[in-house]
Structure 1
Amino acid sequence: MTSHASGVSRRGLLAGGFGLMALAALPPNARAAARCTVDDWMPSEAFLQDLPRQMQALGVPGIAIAVVNEGRLAWSRSFGVTRAEGGAQVDERTLWEAASLSKPVFAYTVLQLVDRGELALDTPLVQYARPDYLGDSPWLERITVRDVLRHTTGLPNWRKDPANEKLVPAVAPGTRIDYSGEAIVWLQLVVEAVTGESLDQTMHRLLFESAAMHDSSYGWDAAMAARSVYGHRAVDDLQPGMPQQGLRDAWDAALPIAERWRKPLSTWRYADAERALPLARANVKPGVLNWPSDILANAAASLRCTAADYARFMSLMVHAHPAAWELRPQTRTAMLTPQIALPDRWTEKGLGWNIEATPAGPVLYHSGSNAGVFKAFALGDATRQRAIVLLTNAANGNLLYRRIVRASTGLDLLAFDV
């Protein structure tokens, strides 16, 4: 186990005028709401002492947890190993797959470009970039940056056969929620077009360097591989050997080409991945590489970072006094404001975030799953300037992070069950 802690102290249940007896007298739902309004979100020491038992039971070899309190990184710890058999102990430098937690980070930088006047939320993507894999649909002309960030493009999450299948929306944009990694990748190509940079170059220039996220990258190299965790199957999955590792498998096939070209993967743009794809296929089993985005830094899924780095990003979402380089206050507010009114929804879509009402007020959240063996979750409360980040290396990581969220925050999110 490794840990990091700042000078922020853990507040007791007596904070804010709540006495233990008064809290105990409340009904269960009210107790949860009251606890959430006064307590920080650090897991208790008693819970952490029991965590290895829970990890073993659920088959989760490693987990990293970080907490934001009063708008800044307050605490982080890592437990377990990078790999169940022969893995190193995880520590504060271990890199984890953030999976779809990549999307809100990318959304933040897209909105930085909006603030700078380089993108417009309601301009159609085709006015910036029209990839040749788009199909034939008049709805494509209407998909905007806002549609991508609130998941109202009508596009699928991922095409089943991207090598042979054109990308088209199923419905008109702005009419329903369709969670779409494909839309995020298209927006990534838009960012390439307006910046003239690779995704990772733009993310470092606009966000990572300023936010002190020095252990974050959407790319891949040998040094990152050595620091990164491996994913693991669920305990009841008895298939022999390690499961497919998704991005690691794909990028390991592309890395020799990057080294031969003397062009790091983090600097590749879509055209580079197109050129490299037939060469990379010679280094991997059939079916692993299907289209150029499989070996390109992916705004929807390929962020690797430490838990502390992701918590530094979460602090940007929940703290009250942004620095000059951060999003304008009204832009950050838009990220956390419902962007489309649809009937019968229990959760809302902001710009890059899900928003759920709770007894303690609205929270922002996002989950992540890569290759079925990396599970991640981030939760924030902008009103009270706090957040929690959980990164795991197992198929059952979602079962574990839900237990930690419930124990640490008092919140039992509908997102966990619906």
Structure 2
Amino acid sequence: MRMVLTLLFLGMSIAGPARAEVRDCPILDEAAGGPVDARVRTVMANLRRPVRVPGERPSTLIERMRAHGVPGVSVAVIHGGRIAWARGWGVRDAALCAPVTPNTVFQAASISKVVTAMLALRLVEQGKIALDADINTALRSWHLPPDAKLAPQGVTLRQLLSHTAGLSVHGFPGYASGTTLPDTVQILDGKPPANSEPVRSILPAGGQWRYSGGGYVVAQRALSDVSGLSFAELADREILRPLGMTRSSFSLASAPAIGNDLAFGHANGRPIAGNYHFYPELGPAGLWTTASDLARLLIDVQTSAAGQPGHRLSPHMTATMLTPVRDNWGLGPVLYTDGAKRFGHDGLNEGYQSSMLAYADRSEGIVILTNGGQGRRLMDEIVRAVATEYGWSEIAAPAATEQHLSATALSNRVGRFEGGGLSVSFEARGDGLYAHTGGPAPERLIALPGDRFFASGMGIVIRFAAGADHFDIIEGGPPIRFERQLVLKSSNEPMPH
């Protein structure tokens, strides 16, 4: 699979900035989005890409929203163990020009997986489901078809939550308004009216990391089966209500109070047909929430990770959740293990993009929700501005000027690298390092301090390890590690002695 396509599925931007603007809506009064203090003003006025161009002034948040075609954005910042501030910018609905406020509810998309994982681990601690047993022992209404070759021992909840179960179906397109929705069994078997393939074993269980939203639907079904409750009811009882996430739900029908301030999904600057898609795949993609509510969830995880009991998960289970299983992925969250430990997740549904990222060892973090356009690129710039203001250099380094590397330094990074089912090849030229990702032309990477390179076309920053035997994506997407691949000599070439 070509890297450019897979990066798109992971929620990374690979095209240039969207030019679709919300032309019909005026710029709203600053007070419409919520409170503003000195730190918020600093963030609003200092958005930058990773590369600092001499003489170039920083952009304002409103300017970048327009440039990226993002109608609305909601941000919550965690500082010192509390929500330091939360507010919105732009509109939740480009047809009516209703403003985004701190209470505006967005689709969280794949961030839903973190809530699902916490719910699953809570039921593990209650003894209702096993973490390392065949998931079919927990399933009542459906069973994952056995595969004696790929999963001779079955697949486990631990594997499902860490994307190591070897299951199919990366993600889901959702269902437009008025479409007949499938039930969970129809989704799992890929039968009409489901619009996705069956969830089946396609790789050896536990053998590798392969992102699978389908695996989270299996977990969704198992959690409902062992509890005797609908997934939405179970999540509300065990996670959302106890954390005070009063404007969050996996079911709009059962939470009518949040429906009066919804952000509609947008494409090309206008609300999508029906205003949003429906996602009966609740476990991987179905959460409606606010930035503040997700910040409350992050704070609960951080506090438990610090060893304090009395939270949704015990300190021991939280540590288990935040321990890498394979390729920087824990049980639910993606993990950043270089330097200070961080955890989080991104999300991409039709018309929505989202991101949350927090430190595991101190109470700092950020949540951003958007409702259209090139939301991924805007979120990266907001994260950089907030991280610069609060000194979170591990989350995002301040913008820096381009570095000019020697021919030797460039040649050390030449070669083919693979990771997460993706591949990329690097070539050194006179003006820098070029990446061949499967697109129509190679992309020149911009060298930054600290062995970092910025791929502006894809909007990601990578960092090479000492010796350049691997590199990691460190900004703009999940921290996938790419390992250098050895090039085997052809049979007619002499082998070295």
Partner of residue 187, structure 1: 219
Give the 5 Å matches for 1:34-183.
Answer: 44-47=43-46, 50-129=60-139, 132=142, 134-135=144-145, 137-138=147-148, 139=150, 142-156=154-168, 157-158=170-171, 162-163=190-191, 165-183=197-215
Give the 5 Å matches for 1:302-317.
Answer: 302-317=286-301
Amino acid at match of 1:169: S
Partner of residue 301, structure 1: 285
Distance 1:159 1:216, change over 3 A: closer
Give the 5 Å matches for 1:1-400.
Answer: 1-3=32-34, 44-47=43-46, 50-129=60-139, 132=142, 134-135=144-145, 137-138=147-148, 139=150, 142-156=154-168, 157-158=170-171, 162-163=190-191, 165-221=197-253, 223-234=257-268, 242-244=271-273, 248-250=276-278, 294=279, 296=280, 298-319=282-303, 320=306, 322-340=308-326, 345=327, 348-358=328-338, 360-371=339-350, 373-400=351-378
Query: How far 1:375 moved relative to its partner?
Result: 0.3
Asked whether the 8 Å contact 1:5–1:74 carries over to 2, the reply is: no
Asked whether the 8 Å contact 2:140–2:225 carries over to 1, the reply is: no
For residues 305 and 188 of structure 1, the distance between their equivalents in structure 2, rounded to whole angstroms, comes to: 18
For residues 373 and 140 of structure 2, the distance between their equivalents in structure 1, rounded to whole angstroms, comes to: 36
RMSD across aligned C-alpha pairs, in angstroms?
2.8
For residues 67 and 333 of structure 1, the distance between their equivalents in structure 2, rounded to whole angstroms, comes to: 23
Asked whether the 8 Å contact 1:42–1:67 carries over to 2, the reply is: no
Amino acid at match of 1:416: G
Q: TM-score, normalised by structure 2?
A: 0.61
Asked whether the 8 Å contact 2:76–2:291 carries over to 1, the reply is: yes
Bigger Rg over Cα? 2
Deviations 1:317-352 (A, max 9, x none): 222354524211111111111113xxxx5xx01110
Unaligned runs of 5+ in 2: 1-31, 48-58, 174-186, 388-392, 398-460, 462-473, 481-497
Aligned residues: 328
Query: How far 1:408 moved relative to its partner?
Result: 1.6
Q: TM-score, normalised by structure 1?
A: 0.72
For residues 98 and 159 of structure 1, the distance between their equivalents in structure 2, rounded to whole angstroms, comes to: 14
Query: How far 1:147 moved relative to its partner?
Result: 0.2
Distance 1:84 1:210, change over 3 A: same
Asked whether the 8 Å contact 2:108–2:286 carries over to 1, the reply is: yes
Considering fraction of residues, name the structure with more strand.
Answer: 2
Matched position secondary structure for 2:60: helix
Asked whether the 8 Å contact 1:81–1:90 carries over to 2, the reply is: yes
Distance 1:148 1:395, change over 3 A: farther
Query: How far 1:357 moved relative to its partner?
Result: 3.6
For residues 240 and 225 of structure 2, the distance between their equivalents in structure 1, rounded to whole angstroms, comes to: 20
For residues 151 and 194 of structure 1, the distance between their equivalents in structure 2, rounded to whole angstroms, comes to: 21
Deviations 1:225-262 (A, max 9, x none): 43211112257xxxxx643468x444xxxxxxxxxxxx
Matched position secondary structure for 1:185: helix
Distance 1:42 1:122, change over 3 A: farther
Deviations 1:386-413 (A, max 9, x none): 1100000013111100111122224156
Q: Taking every aligned residue pair, what percent have the same amino acid on both sides?
A: 30
Amino acid at match of 1:336: L
Matched position secondary structure for 2:136: helix
Matched position secondary structure for 2:282: coil
Matched position secondary structure for 2:310: coil
Amino acid at match of 2:282: N
Asked whether the 8 Å contact 2:94–2:271 carries over to 1, the reply is: no
For residues 99 and 162 of structure 2, the distance between their equivalents in structure 1, rounded to whole angstroms, comes to: 38
For residues 316 and 42 of structure 2, the distance between their equivalents in structure 1, rounded to whole angstroms, comes to: 32
Query: How far 1:114 moved relative to its partner?
Result: 1.2
Partner of residue 416, structure 1: 476
Amino acid at match of 1:407: A
Partner of residue 9, structure 2: none
For residues 64 and 194 of structure 1, the distance between their equivalents in structure 2, rounded to whole angstroms, comes to: 36
For residues 122 and 379 of structure 1, the distance between their equivalents in structure 2, rounded to whole angstroms, comes to: 28
Q: Looking at both structures, which has the greater relative contact order when contacts are Cα pairs under 8 Å and sequence separation is at least 6?
A: 1
When structure 1 is superposed on structure 2, of 157-166 and 394-403 the one drifting more is 157-166
Distance 1:159 1:199, change over 3 A: closer
Partner of residue 13, structure 1: none
Query: How far 1:57 moved relative to its partner?
Result: 1.2
Considering fraction of residues, name the structure with more helix.
Answer: 1
Matched position secondary structure for 1:401: helix
Asked whether the 8 Å contact 2:309–2:315 carries over to 1, the reply is: no
Asked whether the 8 Å contact 2:346–2:355 carries over to 1, the reply is: yes
